[in-house]
Amino acid sequence: MSVTFYKILELKDFASVPEVKKAFKRLSLKYHPDRNPNDKSAEEKFKQINEAYKVLSNEESKANYDARLNSLTTAFVDYYTQQTRNYKNYQEEQKRRAEILRKAEKERFENAKFNIQVSLLCFVGFMYLFILVGSTYDFVSRLYYYKAYCLEKKNADEKAWKALNWALSYDNSYAEAHVLIAKIAVKRPYIGSNVRTNLQAALDLGTPNYLRCIEMRLYTHAKDENYKKLLQDYENLIYLTPQPEAKALAILDTLWATMNSYEAVGNMADICSGAMPQKVEPYLIGSVAYSLAGNKKKAEDRLKAYKKFGAVNYKQLNGLMQNTYYSKGQVALSILLANLLLEKPNPFRAQALCVRAHANSQDNNHEAALTDYDTVIKENPSTDSLYYFRAVSYLTLGKADSACLDWNRALARGYKGRNATLEFFCSPAP
């Protein structure tokens, strides 16, 4: 009942009968059809007013209507109250569920956070343990290396080698240990370590002593007669060394005296002269090496280049001459080097005369040998062996008297050697 009779009469609910009558009079006059001709709404309103008045003007009908109205109002209020209560319960339920979801979400977040923290802590602990163990291994490895280094300095190579093996067992990436074990293996091949493998490992690991590794590997290639790799390492060493002159020449001097391939020595000398064109020594070594290898054209070209630069290293030239004659037994080349050494005054003139005299004597050119022996004996009259060698040349030429004279001079000056031929010819008659 949305519009009650009281509302039609513009009264409050449950108004009294006098109030109803008073309102009826007022509204009936207002909406009477005579006063509102042709107004359907007014006519309809007038009918509603009469109907309301008919019910409410009677005490009995009004009481019945009020009872019905009161029950409807109570039911509506109860319904509204229930709906309000239900809505509040719904809101509370929603809040409770939202709170449960929020707590569950917070709990999930806390669990995830806890799991991340535990995982991170485990990772950090593992890394710390890894670093600690790795640092311990590195420390132990370096202790063994230091021990091996001290032992190697004392030439206790076998003990040093064992210490280095322990060092590499703790840290195989320690480049300096590979370098030192290769160095020991070069000195003591019987120990059994592979020189090239350790040197290559040190180079791969980025050792700061990479030039020393290349130099050691170069000597290993020379020993194994792997001349192709030797030339590669020699070239790398020259171009990687900041000031390569002394190092390159020292290696060239050492290898030229020990290598069996004179052609390879000549190639090394060419590499050296190409990198250091201002140095004359490589030209000389190259000339000697190519001459020994039988390559006369290259030998002559290198000799021309050597003479062209003019600044002769007489000490090195003397060393080459001595090595060529006494070690290599090359007579013709020894005479050539002696002639170069005798072109100008120098401290090695006597050695050059002796070598040339010996070489000429060995080549059966005894007249030239005697000339050199005469000259060097005048400069060094107290050397007993010179008289002996001149006596041999005199005897070969058939000059027995001169030979015996020099033989006796040699003996008088303390010569301890024996020569049956000279002793036979020069012994006094019985």
pLDDT at 309: 65
Question: pLDDT under 70 in the chain at which residues?
Answer: 1-2, 73-80, 128-134, 189-193, 245, 256-258, 309-312, 328, 428-430
pLDDT at 354: 85
CA distance 199 to 215: 10
Q: Which CATH architecture has domain 5-104?
A: Orthogonal Bundle (1.10)
pLDDT at 77: 62
Burial (CB count within 10 angstroms: exposed 0-12, middle 13-18, buried 19+), residue 50:
middle
pLDDT at 312: 66
On whether the CB atoms of residues 282 and 317 are closer than 8 A, the answer is: no
Residue (of 395, 401, 333) closest to 369 by Cα position:
395
Residue (of 84, 77, 73) closest to 2 by Cα position:
73
CA distance 268 to 37: 139
pLDDT at 191: 62
